[in-house]
A and B are shown apart, each in its own frame.
Chain A
């Protein structure tokens, strides 16, 4: 993964490299040209140097002849030395074209030196005429040297004519090269920069697009960026964020659903509370009235009615009193018998009740009003709709850990859905006229009371329904309140 920074560095490095390369080449080239010019100039200067030195020698010789002092002699010696040095320099100028001329040239210098010496010699020997002659010869030679210098320079120009023209052409070519180079580099840089900027901006553009989509609320589009730098990392993070947001949203939706259900449940609770409150209106007044009615029926000789009214009153009292606390199974069975008495009065012989009770189990603690709603349910669904009535069997069997309470009827049975609804403690739409406490209420209370889930089994079929309650002999937590 190359970072954007590295990309920038690479671009800068390439630019730098190109610039350095061009700079180096041009500098090198320039240096070479400079050297060349120096070489050429050097050649001309050396030739010119010979002319100068020879003229100086002649001047010095003349001065010495006019005034033969040691100073002038020193001057003459110096200029002669200079001439010798110039001669050595000229030697390096040799080439095939001027070989002959250079040889002549050097020999001319030698001749000049010799003639000068000769003139000096004659001078010291006081043979002034010979000295004069030698001097004039030296002057002539010096003149020849000057002329030959010009000839040599001329030859030089001819020899190197093509070369010089080449240099001029080359410098013109260099100018052209500069233009070409500028154009090429400009275009290349343009191309490079375009590609480079694209490699950075294209992923960003994609990312921007993706962000726009997200901001519009489209969380289902995948964020995909093909790139090899931080942008792709950013895109990946973005994609993860999108997925997270998606998840969060669905979570929130679930929560909202839950909330709604809770609200509903609250409403239901309020309703039931209202109902229970309503049912508590002046209960004692009701009990007393029922007692009074029972006594009056007894006094008037209707003992059966009196017993019935007493049962109703007892049941009602038990209902109101015991709903929120635990009782023994014994009490429950007693209330159940009272309830059955009332129902028998209602259904006469259409209702058959068979009880098989193991008396040893009656001390077991159980929430109040547990059995009555189940039996009531059986009465409502199995006995009431049938013309010939039905049989309700009630058994209490002692198990090892638990007490098994079976309540079975021979009604038409329940649907599978209903069974499940009951077991899952859904509030079931109650039909008919029950005491108000539903089946599911019983299940919930039992579970809460014992702290175990498997408190009820329901087996239902066309030949009847059997509800089995499995009551633990000891509560898991003994908080008897």
Chain B
């Protein structure tokens, strides 16, 4: 009786010892040091990519391309920016980048005085090279080293050619643009007009609108009232395409109209897939990111000096519905 009790207690002891040992192991074995992952290798250059439209498919691709290229060339890159074209935040980020004395800034061009002031005065004062990407600001205004991105003039031309091909040599076209009249938008318009000049039968009407949804709708309404026989629409700024199409759709069928836009808005591709847009000008964001970083690194290391101030155009092509993925 007593013996069996003793054996029971002994077994219990063993079990307890086992659990205690396990618990102690868990307590004492676990890493007790702050994970001070040492900085294995100081990156050669600290670059910053700043955009106004973070987390849009277009800029995500630019960022991905830039990061991949930075990784390959041994530079560290961070993607900063603002959401939804918040210019104030965007400019703040740009200023922080300059104050933080990064080695190079790759920035989405913003055709505003504040932007120009920052790049031209402050960045130049600190000796920080700036490359514009996606949308350009003329060099005289921004002192940017170069521009990497689509040739917006050519892009406008491409749209215009597609328009002629689809609509025919005569008709009424409404061009809708952002009232901020940024440089890239002017380039696009210029490209469109230059092509359409050759076709006297094509009547164009250009309207500017603020980029709030209500304003876009109001302007679209107004234009359609003034030009009831409109055949085609071109949203020169991709961000207003969605609201514009919505308004057209409220009035009548969307299909009869030829509607075109660019791909630098998150709405563009879904609208094309739905068949509401007849064509989207596709740019190469990934290449922009890669080329931007590549050129910056090359410039910083002195490999390519000077950079082509006219810019390095990336590929553009017209994306039609049937070609859409």
Contacts and interface: CB of A to CB of B under 8 A. Distances in A.
Contacts of A334: none
Contacts of B78: 100-101
A173 B100 contact: no
A298 interface: no
Interface string A168-197: 001001101100110110011011001000
B20 to A, nearest CB: 4
B30 interface: yes
B16 A183 contact: yes
A177 B46 contact: no
A77 B38 CA distance: 34
Interface string B18-33: 0110011011101110
Contacts of B101: 107, 110-111
Contact of B100 (A96, A105, A183): A105
Nearest to B39: A99
Counting chain B CB atoms within 10 Å of each CB, which of A29, A99, A148, A159 scores highest? A99
Nearest to B20: A180
Nearest to B23: A177
A108 B95 CA distance: 10
Nearest to A179: B23
B34 A39 contact: yes
Interface in B238-274: none
A65 to B, nearest CB: 20
A108 B96 contact: yes
A163 B34 contact: yes
A187 B9 contact: yes
Interface of A is mostly: helix
A32 interface: yes
A140 interface: yes
Contact of A95 (B13, B19, B39, B102): B39
B127 interface: no
Contacts of B12: 187
Contacts of B42: 99
Contacts, number: 98
Contacts of A97: 37
A7 to B, nearest CB: 19
A94 interface: yes
Given A99-B39, A170-B27, A170-B30, A184 B16 contact: yes
Nearest to A110: B101
B27 A29 contact: yes
Given A100-B46, A104-B96, A173 B26 contact: yes
Given A160-B34, A177-B20, A184-B20, A140 B95 contact: yes
A166 interface: yes
Nearest to A147: B96
Interface in B92-144: 92, 95-97, 99-102
A103 interface: yes
A183 B19 CA distance: 10
Contact of B32 (A36, A177, A180, A191): A36
A287 interface: no
Contacts of A140: 95
Contacts of A141: 99
B46 A103 contact: yes
A190 B9 contact: yes
Interface in A74-111: 94-97, 99-101, 103-105, 107-108, 110-111
A163 B31 CA distance: 9
Given A108-B100, A111-B101, A191-B10, A95 B36 contact: yes
B9 A173 contact: no
A39 B27 CA distance: 19
Nearest to B78: A100
Contacts of A36: 32, 34
Counting chain A CB atoms within 10 Å of each CB, which of B28, B38, B97 scores highest? B28
Given A32-B32, A144-B95, A107 B20 contact: no
Nearest to A107: B101
A104 B100 contact: yes
Nearest to A186: B16
Counting chain B CB atoms within 10 Å of each CB, which of A25, A101, A144, A148 scores highest? A144
A40 interface: yes
Interface residues of B, number: 37
B99 A94 contact: no
A111 B20 contact: no
Contacts of B9: 187, 190-191
B76 interface: yes
B23 A176 contact: yes
B7 to A, nearest CB: 11
Contacts of A112: 99
Contact of B35 (A160, A176, A181): A160
Contact of A144 (B19, B30, B99): B99
Given A95-B36, A108-B99, A177-B23, A184 B31 contact: no
Given A36-B34, A163-B34, A183-B16, A107 B39 contact: no
Nearest to A105: B100
B39 A104 contact: no
Interface in A116-171: 140-141, 144, 148, 159-160, 163, 166, 170
B304 interface: no
Contacts of A173: 23, 26-27
Interface in B151-168: none
Contact of A184 (B17, B100, B102): B17
Counting chain A CB atoms within 10 Å of each CB, which of B12, B27, B35, B78 scores highest? B27
A191 B34 contact: no
B229 interface: no
Contacts of A166: 30-31
Contacts of B13: 184, 187-188, 191
Contacts of A180: 16, 19-20, 23
Nearest to B32: A32
A96 B23 contact: no
Contacts of B16: 180, 183-184, 187
B323 interface: no
Given A100-B76, A187-B13, A148 B23 contact: no
Nearest to B93: A144
Interface string B33-63: 0111111101100100000000000000000
A107 B99 contact: yes
A184 B20 CA distance: 7
A40 B99 contact: no
A29 B28 contact: yes
13 contacts: A95-B38, A96-B39, A97-B37, A99-B42, A100-B46, A104-B97, A108-B96, A170-B26, A176-B23, A177-B27, A183-B16, A184-B16, A184-B20
Nearest 4 A-B pairs (CB), nearest first? Answer: A104-B100, A107-B101, A177-B23, A111-B99
Interface of B: 6, 9-10, 12-13, 16-17, 19-20, 23-24, 26-28, 30-32, 34-40, 42-43, 46, 76, 78, 92, 95-97, 99-102
Given A94-B39, A99-B76, A160-B35, 20 more contacts: A25-B28, A36-B32, A95-B38, A96-B39, A100-B46, A107-B101, A108-B99, A111-B99, A112-B99, A144-B92, A144-B95, A144-B96, A144-B99, A160-B34, A163-B34, A166-B30, A173-B26, A181-B24, A184-B16, A191-B10
